[in-house]
Amino acid sequence: MSRTLLKNALLVTGARTGEGSILIEDGKISSIAFYDSGETIPDIPSVPSEDLGGLAVMPGAVDIHVHFREPGLTHKGDIASGSRAALMGGVTSFVDMPNTIPPTTDGAALEEKYRIASAKSLANYGFHIGATSSNIMEIKRLCSQSPESFGGIKVFLGSSTGNMLLNDCSALDALFSIKGKCILIHSEDENIIKYNMAKAVSAYGDAVPFTLHPLIRSREACIKSTADALERAMRLGTRLHVLHVSTAEEVDLIRTAKGYNQGITAETTAGYLLFSDEDYPALGPFLKCNPAIKSPRDREALRDALRDGTIDTIGSDHAPHLKEEKLRPYTSCPSGVPSVGDSLHALLAVAAQDGIPLGRIAEVMSETPARILGIKGKGQLKEGFDADFVVLDPDAVSVPDASDSPCGWTPYEGMTLKGRIHSVWLAGEKAVSNGNIISRPLASRLSFIRSDQFQ
Ligand SMILES: [Zn+2]
């Protein structure tokens, strides 16, 4: 049996944070002790131990919203480079989105992704399935025959990279009636966007100023789409996760809807908490993402929502594109930014600015995303769970470097973020130490329990 004792750590969980020790046995947490409760785990001479000297131990981040671009778009990024950036940034598990080529819309495409990831992923890997207007029977088959094989069902209510738009009412009703699996939505109203886009193009041609991005992918487009989806989820009792919420009005709608359907949850990304539309003049294409980043007022509302629990999870929405693709005129510049490696640092910076406790970070980045998808053994510092951790000094400054990003740039470049990562552990083994991969990470395939059966 392989055993390791981590002692004098600041153990960070949603429920409690305090000094303590963790005993790892065969890749799992076998015992956890909080000193302030008088608990200890005695040293055993034959068991190697590491004194962490008060460094924080958090459950490894579980990022359920990444676009690693493989297969089919690997000039932008791939599972190897994406999972490497993830691991270096404290993300030990990821669930990748279906807008690849071919799109992940059936069991065969799903298994092909697992096959690729098993050979090259450096972090634990899982995949969502994508909904189209023609694959609902296949999704229902997978839900009943192999619910453990995919995270959730991704629906693009507004178009983005990969053209997987689905906004047909009867297909959405059928989809939102599925039980036991989470529906994750990209929520923007396609008709409003199309109208705004046509207006901008008639005024500017291809060279639409990037400052208009939040007026084209407008707040009205987000609000209308999210209001419709919430209405449908309340009516049909859907397990709905609203991705990358970007406006104050959506926060209010979600807060209210949760009172009627407790299966409604919401995500935002660190980008919407740190940037605002005032950053478009300086960052232009490098902040072009969908939904657009909105006003400082929205940013404040999202920060309040993170604190009060209306926002349940932080995903990165890591969506790499080449620099030369980003330098094209507005109409051909793809939307999306790389972020999987910066997400935890960015969130720690927000937490430091707003006085948000570390335990809340563990909740939104690890515990709740794992629970929402029913990921077996992941996301918690708890006996019996997998020993996937990030060990860090949360107060130390972190300055993102473009060379660490898989596509060679990051909107966070040069910003003062927080959290120096000392080590990252996967299945009880130290995989990253002081910014270097020191052993082949013990990455494995995620397994999903039906979300209505997960405690
Ligand atoms: Zn996305």
Q: What does the pLDDT look like over 93-147, one tens digit per residue?
A: 999 999 999 999 999 999 999 999 999 999 999 999 999 988 999 999 999 999 9
Mark whether 82 and 34 lie in a shared domain: no
Residue 52's CATH number: 2.30.40.10
Mark whether 76 and 41 lie in a shared domain: no
C-beta separation of 159 from 187 below 8 A: no
Mark whether 234 and 344 lie in a shared domain: yes
Q: Each residue of 247-284: pLDDT tens digit?
A: 999 999 999 999 999 999 999 999 999 999 999 999 99
Distances (CA, A) of 444 to 28, 48, 208, 450: 13, 24, 44, 19
Cα 288 to middle of ligand 1, angstroms? 13
Q: How far apart are CA 145 and CA 103, in angstroms?
A: 21
pLDDT-flagged residues of the chain (< 50): 455
**β-pairing, 17-25 with 3-12?**
antiparallel
Mark whether 48 and 71 lie in a shared domain: no
Instruction: Enter the pTM of the model.
Output: 0.97
C-alpha angle with apex 250: 245 to 254, nearest 5 degrees?
95
Mark whether 30 and 69 lie in a shared domain: no
The two structure tokens encoding residue 25? 């046995």
Residue 97's CATH number: 3.20.20.140
> Starting at the edge strand that comes first in sequence, how are the strands of the sheet with 61-66 ordered?
61-66, 91-96, 124-127
Cα 74 to middle of ligand 1, angstroms? 16
> What was the pLDDT predicted at 342?
96
Mark whether 313 and 333 lie in a shared domain: yes
Cα 65 to middle of ligand 1, angstroms? 6
DSSP string, 215-272: HHS-HHHHHHHHHHHHHHHHHHT--EEE-S---HHHHHHHHHHHTT-TTEEEEE-HHH
Mark whether 234 and 275 lie in a shared domain: yes
Helices (H), 49-187: 79-88, 107-120, 136-145, 169-176
Q: Quick one: which of 124, 63, 13 has its CA closest to 426?
A: 124
Chain length of the chain: 455
Domain total of the chain? 2
Mark whether 103 and 176 lie in a shared domain: yes
Domain of residue 226: give its range.
61-375
- Inside any domain, residue 352: yes
- Inside any domain, residue 444: no
- Inside any domain, residue 409: no
Mark whether 393 and 304 lie in a shared domain: no
Cα 62 to middle of ligand 1, angstroms? 15
Run of H or E residues at 193: helix 190-204
Positive/negative CA dihedral, 119, 123, 124, 126: negative
- Inside any domain, residue 424: yes
- Inside any domain, residue 207: yes
- Inside any domain, residue 411: no
Q: Work out the burial of residue 419: count CB atoms within 10 Å of its CB; fewer than 13 is exposed, 13-18 middle, 19 or more buried.
A: buried
> What was the pLDDT predicted at 451?
64
Mark whether 71 and 25 lie in a shared domain: no
The two structure tokens encoding residue 11? 């153990």
> What was the pLDDT predicted at 222?
98
Cα 261 to middle of ligand 1, angstroms? 24
Residues that are catalytic: 317
- Inside any domain, residue 79: yes
> What was the pLDDT predicted at 455?
46
The two structure tokens encoding residue 148? 């453990």
Mark whether 92 and 115 lie in a shared domain: yes
> What was the pLDDT predicted at 81?
96
Mark whether 317 and 346 lie in a shared domain: yes
> What was the pLDDT predicted at 27?
97
Cα 268 to middle of ligand 1, angstroms? 11
- Inside any domain, residue 402: no
